[in-house]
């Protein structure tokens, strides 16, 4: 056992990321005392991990009345405590680019390590997620039930309503989040750091996602608050990012409602070191676009409508990608219910994803259409009503690539489905009953040992259907013929 505050300060000084030395120990003790209070400052602890020590200090602060008991209040204090091992932005950036000049992958690895060690990436929360894979006709799809983000306490919601409304920072992607203390209605960011990156004539930021959905899940954000727009510049920047960050993919949500992401008001991309099912999918049809014989092109065997372009010359890839984007923006096929515009309202855009394969660059363009109809008021190419009991939210970049981010309600709801299938007392949600009955009919011999696997496989099959719903050109003969008509309208040589 050792003294709590003394051990915390020792860990701060010993951290390879900290700017403090042993000479700063007394100063650090006093700064921590100012945050958590002096009562109980000499208590002992068995913890040695810095984040565990931080949690104990937060609990002490609550006892001492220095911090409220709500999650949001404790999180703000926790971020402030972890700020002591987090160098200022200027130091973080100077270290990153100095190391990058000799060892790019090491620079990225060090920044990722800092973002974990200072508790900006919420590893304990992420570990709560339920994750599994399911075999489908399109390969193994990846499923995550997202349990990492804490649900809002009703008391916190009520307290936040009493606060004076603030528009600072403008959103959770704004540069002004770096070092922001946080409040009941905005997350703590005292320990948040952003690497500055020049993309063409624009300055962007590189940061990690605090509640990551996959390995090294990162965000690239425009340092200016400008809306998302898919353009030629988008393709240029995505290809540049996968060159700057070895081993990372970079992709963008679409820029239209229904098919776009949750934050359309601030231009940003996502990336990381993860292999998605779509990346592993092979080409179903291969051809060459006229005038672009140096680029391999084809339709990906995938439930959504994906054109894959592969080549060594980034500029040539950008030229072809933008030609396809512009062609798609005005292309309609009424027989297949593909509508480019309603009046002046555009319906067509793309979800682009870039990656490297050795010395080659690869760009996937996922065709998107966001028009609605009387039968499908949520979107013709959006999850249809019969699958919304599992997934009704927008199909964004991550889902497009084959990783389902499912709502936390499903943890309890699927447990009730399992009880229903086993003939046990249950509280099955009405909207799951038809689906559960189909599972029961196809698996009459399921047991307590197999029911979880069977239900998870059924969830995966629903997600495959979700992606099929979002696919503009279906996998049937008519759909694939229509896809080739679009391709041929651009011009192919074989």
Does the pLDDT value for residue 208 go beyond 90?
yes
pLDDT cut 90: percent of the chain above it: 92
On whether the CB atoms of residues 3 and 42 are closer than 8 A, the answer is yes
Does the pLDDT value for residue 162 go beyond 70?
no
State residue 302's pLDDT score. Answer: 98
Give 440-491 pLDDT, tens digit per residue. Answer: 999 999 999 999 999 999 999 999 999 999 999 999 999 999 999 999 999 9
Does the pLDDT value for residue 185 go beyond 70?
yes
Closest to 240 in 3D by CA, of 216, 271, 279: 271
Tokens at residue 414, please? 């699927």
On whether the CB atoms of residues 492 and 289 are closer than 8 A, the answer is yes
Q: How far apart are CA 281 and CA 275, in angstroms?
A: 11
The pTM for the full model equals 0.94
Q: If you average pLDDT over residues 408-430, what whole number do you get?
A: 97
Q: How far apart are CA 86 and CA 80, in angstroms?
A: 10
State residue 321's pLDDT score. Answer: 98
Tokens at residue 322, please? 């933008």
Q: If you average pLDDT over residues 312-322, what whole number do you get?
A: 98
pLDDT cut 70: percent of the chain above it: 97
State residue 143's pLDDT score. Answer: 98
Does the pLDDT value for residue 163 go beyond 80?
no
Q: How far apart are CA 488 and CA 427, in angstroms?
A: 53
Q: How far is CA 133 from the centre of its chain?
A: 18
On whether the CB atoms of residues 269 and 237 are closer than 8 A, the answer is yes
């Amino acid at each position: 056992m050792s003294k709590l505050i003394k051990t915390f300060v020792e860990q701060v000084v010993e951290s390879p990321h900290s700017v403090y030395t042993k000479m700063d120990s007394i100063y650090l003790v006093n700064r921590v005392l100012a945050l958590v209070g002096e009562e109980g400052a000499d208590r002992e602890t068995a913890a040695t991990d810095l984040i565990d020590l931080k949690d104990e200090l937060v609990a002490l602060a609550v006892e001492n009345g220095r911090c409220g008991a709500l999650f949001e209040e404790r999180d703000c204090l926790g971020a402030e405590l972890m700020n002591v091992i987090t160098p200022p932005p200027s130091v973080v950036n100077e270290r990153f680019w100095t190391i990058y000049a000799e060892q790019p992958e090491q620079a990225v690895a060090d920044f990722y390590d800092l973002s974990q060690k200072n508790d900006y990436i919420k590893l304990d929360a992420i570990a709560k997620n339920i994750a599994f894979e399911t075999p489908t006709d399109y390969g193994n799809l990846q499923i995550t039930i997202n349990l990492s983000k804490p649900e809002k306490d009703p008391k916190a919601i009520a307290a936040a309503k009493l606060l004076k409304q603030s528009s600072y920072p403008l959103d959770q992607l704004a540069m002004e989040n770096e070092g922001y203390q946080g409040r009941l209605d905005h997350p703590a960011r005292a320990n948040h750091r952003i690497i500055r990156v020049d993309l063409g004539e624009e300055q962007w930021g590189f940061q990690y996602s605090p509640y990551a959905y996959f390995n090294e899940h990162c965000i690239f954000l425009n340092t200016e608050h400008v809306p998302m727009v898919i353009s030629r510049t988008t393709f240029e920047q995505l290809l540049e990012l996968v060159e700057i960050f070895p081993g990372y993919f970079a992709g963008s949500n679409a820029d239209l409602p229904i098919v776009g992401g949750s934050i359309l008001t601030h231009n940003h991309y996502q990336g990381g070191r993860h292999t998605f099912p779509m990346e592993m999918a092979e080409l179903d049809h291969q051809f060459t676009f006229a005038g672009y014989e140096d680029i391999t092109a084809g339709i990906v065997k995938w439930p959504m409508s994906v054109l894959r372009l592969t080549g060594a010359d980034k500029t040539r890839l950008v030229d072809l990608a933008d030609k396809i984007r512009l062609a798609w923006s005005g292309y309609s096929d009424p027989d297949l219910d593909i509508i480019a515009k309603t009046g002046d309202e555009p319906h067509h855009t793309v979800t682009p994803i870039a990656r490297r394969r050795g010395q080659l660059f690869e760009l996937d363009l996922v065709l998107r259409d966001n028009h609605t109809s009387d039968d499908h008021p949520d979107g013709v190419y959006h999850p249809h009503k019969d699958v919304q009991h599992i997934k009704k939210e927008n199909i964004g970049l991550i889902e497009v690539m084959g990783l389902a981010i499912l709502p936390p309600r499903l943890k309890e709801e699927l447990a009730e489905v399992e009880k229903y299938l086993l003939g046990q007392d249950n509280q099955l949600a009405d909207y799951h009953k038809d689906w559960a009955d189909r599972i029961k009919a196809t698996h009459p011999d399921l047991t307590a040992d197999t029911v979880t696997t069977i239900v998870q496989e059924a969830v995966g099959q629903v997600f495959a259907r979700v992606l099929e719903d979002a696919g503009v050109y279906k996998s049937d003969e008519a759909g694939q013929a229509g896809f080739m008509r679009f391709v041929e309208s651009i011009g192919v040589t074989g």
